[in-house]
Structure 1
Amino acid sequence: MYAIDRYAWTNRWYRHHPGERLLLAGGGLLLALALPPLTAGPLLCALMAGATVVGARVPARAFLGVMALPAGFLLTSAPFLALSLDLSDGVRLAYSPAGAAAALTVTLRSLGALSCLACLALTTPVAELVPWLRRVGVPAAVVEIALLIYRLIFIFMERALAGQQAQAARQGYSTRRRSLRSLGLLVATLFQRALERARRLEVGLAARGYVGELRVLTPQRRLSPRRLAGIGGLLLAVALGSLLLERALA
């Protein structure tokens, strides 16, 4: 079991109703889209980090680890938005103040939304999200494909790690030339095994009488009015705080 799944199944909020965590993450996503990003982005990051680490008792390194890769992609790609291509006197890259403002806006808004998704991923197992997706009207085929792909991702990662370790044990990455050759062989092997695994999964589902819907057993839990009110209060505080800060900075 990978770290995200392990924390999703063992965190402090696991026995709470998943709708409460969906309200927190979904409400935060709406605020990230609707509020001024310069103030809402940092506030949402702080709220989701506090809710995940302090509320759900998920280690801070796990939250930062989930945020690290997409945040790194954002921070490395955002500076390019601050550049403009000037063709009036040849080809020349120039600094654009409007582009820099857009880069800052996109980065902060994206980080705020990303923190909401990280909180949901670390506190709610996928198996508990499936029934809710069906209740809100998501087509059953989309839900089933997402569930199967989620499972295949972990199988693919396990095969990739095992293959890389086997190649490393045979000095497959001792030189740059060997590293490129080993990486090519690994990718080709993984592609073939992924297709084989998909075919085996299709045959297995057909043998078990699959008719277009996978049933997932989830425990029945009750919504807590006290926790729902607390989540609503936190989201309202973030909204008011963002608007007040935006007015103060204007």
Structure 2
Amino acid sequence: MAHLTALDDAAWQGPWRAVRVGEKVVLSVGLLVTALVSPPWPGCVLVAIACVALTCGPARIPPRTLAIAMAPALTFLVIGGVTVAVVLGGTPTPNAFFAWGPLWADPATVSKGVTAFSRGVSGTLSVMLLATTTPMVDLLTWLRSLGMPSPLVDIASLTYRLLFVLLSSALAIHAAQTARLGRISVATAASATGSLLIRSWAHAARLQAGLEGRGYTGDLPTLPRARSASPAFLATALAVVGAVWAANLAVILT
């Protein structure tokens, strides 16, 4: 279970938890917007490099944790980039790289695929920079302070917490079945899924009963952690984003 909760553990234990959420959002969103509107070179490449350097450097997130978090996204992005680069059907252009049955690709389609992939990778890394340095409870508390309706914040908070309950139940059921049977078959997987749903429903019912017993009135406020402003962090964030934009403009104007 350790590798499944590594992202959350890193956010709680990292040194950037002492930084205000709004300041980290400025950095992450600034890099994300830059990744979405920049060309693959140099914009997206520089955004990706900056995100990895900041995440594994000053934020002190283990590279393995970042790699585990990025692996599913990279798989999806690779598939998406290939489907954009390779055309199904139509008439291949004269300068096509290949034409294999209904599949073909030319420089224009490959360029679109590379652009989609590079923007996806750099944008995902920008979001991971915030996810690996900011616990969900801090982010939800910050959203509440911005005026987000309390019911929405509470639903998001409960859903997030119940995911860990669901994960714990799933791992416990899997370990029990493996110990008894030595392997997991289709039949045992179906049985485990049913048990998981029943246990999750029971957990939710106990949670509801506990809230009612404590006089729940529709609001679950969390006491915010006091954090002082960090002008140096904000200045560094703006400098990083500004440097990427300066490099973009330099390439575009040359």
Fold agreement, TM-score > 0.5: yes
1:200 counterpart = 2:206? yes
Q: Cα deviations across residues 114-148 of structure 1 (Å, max 9, x unaligned)?
A: 10111111111111111221233433222211111
Q: Which residue matches 1:187? A: 193
The more displaced of 187-196 and 130-139 is: 130-139
Change (3 A) 1:85 1:16: closer
Contact 1:35 1:243 in 2 (8 A): no
Q: Corresponding residue for 2:86?
A: 83
Give the gaps of 5 or more residues in structure 1: none
The equivalent of 2:148 in structure 1 is 138
The answer to whether the Cα contact below 8 Å between 1:20 and 1:227 also exists between their aligned partners in 2 is yes
CA distance in 1, matches of 2:138, 2:25: 11
Q: Name the SS of the counterpart of 1:13 in structure 2.
A: helix
* Equivalent in 210, 213, 219 of residue 213 of structure 1: 219
1:22 aligns with 2:31: no
Q: Aligned pairs, how many? A: 241
Change over 3 Å in CA distance of 1:85–1:197 after alignment to 2: same
Looking at structure 1, the residues matched to 30 and 90 of structure 2 have their Cα atoms a distance apart, in angstroms, of 44
TM-score, normalised via structure 1 length: 0.87
Q: Deviations over 1:166-196 (max 9, x none)?
A: 11112352xxxx5212221112221222222
Q: Give the distance between the partners of 2:162 and 2:131, measured in 1 at CA.
A: 17
Please tell me the residue identity of whatever aligns with 1:55.
P
Q: Secondary structure at the match of 2:87?
A: strand
DSSP 3-state at the match of 2:102: strand
Partner letter of residue 137 of structure 2?
A
Alpha-carbon distance in 1 for matches of 2:69, 2:44:
17
Q: Which residue of 2 aligns with 1:94?
A: 103
What is the deviation of 1:46? 1.1
Distance 2:251 2:198 in 1: 54
**Are 2:49 and 1:43 aligned?**
no
Consecutive unaligned residues of structure 2, counting only runs of 5 or more, are: 92-100
Shift of 1:67: 1.0
* Distance in 1 separating the partners of 2:12 and 2:185: 37
One-letter amino acid of the structure 2 residue matched with residue 202 of structure 1: Q
Contact 2:32 2:126 in 1 (8 A): yes
The normalised TM-score by structure 2 is 0.86
- Which shows bigger deviation, 31-40 or 52-61? 31-40
How does 1:58-137 map onto structure 2 within 5 Å?
58-86=61-89, 93-97=102-106, 98-137=108-147
Retained in 2: the 8 A contact 1:36–1:246? Answer: no
Letter in 1 for 2:33: L
CA distance in 1, matches of 2:129, 2:68: 12
Q: Secondary structure at the match of 1:14?
A: helix
Question: Shift of residue 160 of structure 1?
Answer: 0.9
The answer to whether the 8 Å contact 1:40/1:112 transfers is: no
Query: What corresponds to 1:169 in structure 2?
Result: 179
